[in-house]
Amino acid sequence: MANLRRAVPSLGALATFEAAARLESFTLAATELGVTQAAVSRQIKLLETDLHCALFLRAHRRVVLTPAGVALAGAVTGAFGRMADAIEAIRETAAPHSLTIGTSLAFSHFWLMPRLAAFRALYPEVKLKLVAEDAPSDLRRDRLDVAIRYGIAPFADGVSLASCRDAVFPVASPKLLDRFGARAETVDPATLPVIAADMITPSWLSWRGFARGAGLGPELGRASDLSRLRFTHYADAIEAAIAGEGVALGWQMLLGGALAEGRLVRLGTAGLCPPESYHLLVPTGADPGPEARGFIDWIAACFADTHNES
């Protein structure tokens, strides 16, 4: 460390140099740093004396970096940027009332976001970070305090504290039914345009898997294979269904709002309750803090209400 202190000029001088190099002006650097132009000029002169070379060419109302100045500016800017990133990461990690929550994109979009205001009203002091993605997650690796995961327990990286089953059935917009002159109660979904979704989450049902589990024929699977509309995100598939583009496979828990508002309706009576559930997870071996505990209690109550409604 002593050798480093002898080799590296003062951080104050380097900060002054960084501002002058970035702004190409001693005057603007002085304004940004809250010092006089003479103080900036003096710091730069001392730095040049220490390094035995000129760092700037002084021009009229501006300064231009020399080759040595360009090299130093790149190193200083990069080092200061890395220090700023590290400091910000430490501040975020150590910040009180912070809670990082992991969910799938569909669960975040359809279930959590419409209810988030209710949680924030109960816990307004909690700082939230929502990590929504469909790629496989690991609670420890991704530094998640809590996660909502669809699957079958147990999980290698987390402990399930609450769970909720879901029902799956075909859904469509009333405008699609009107266009085809069909009734929701009696229409065969395979006779309507089918919207296909290519999920990267293997636990989610395909049309072919739904038809097989619900005891239906192969027509739905074939219609899905021939579909002219395919999506890689479930939210996009549902938005297309709401717009009247076709029939989608609907998870009741996720689409409760759209069904209650009449933007989507259930088609026929065929349905399926998959073996998977939505699980409220905490990292294995973790002791949830007060912020996480509040979220856990809230989600568990919401899951219990959903059980009671079904």
How do residues 165-193 score in pLDDT, each as one tens digit? 999 999 999 999 999 999 999 999 999 99
Query: How many residues does the structure list for the chain?
Result: 310
Q: Which two tokens mark 54?
A: 């000129």
pLDDT of 112 > 80? The answer is yes
Do 98-165+276-309 and 2-94 have the same topology in CATH? no
> What pLDDT, on the 0 to 100 scale, is given for residue 17?
92
pLDDT of 30 > 50? The answer is yes
CATH number 3.30.1490.190 is the correct assignment for the domain at 168-266? no
- In the chain, the percentage of residues whose pLDDT exceeds 90 is 66
Give 263-305 pLDDT, tens digit per residue. Answer: 999 999 999 999 999 999 999 998 898 889 999 999 999 999 8
98-165+276-309: which CATH architecture? 3-Layer(aba) Sandwich (3.40)
Q: What is the dihedral of CA 181, 186, 187, 188, to 10 degrees?
A: -160
Average pLDDT score over residue span 246-253: 95
CATH of domain 2-94: 1.10.10.10
The ranges assigned to domains in the chain are 2-94, 98-165+276-309, 168-266
Q: Which residues pair with 149 in a beta bridge?
A: 279
> What pLDDT, on the 0 to 100 scale, is given for residue 4?
43
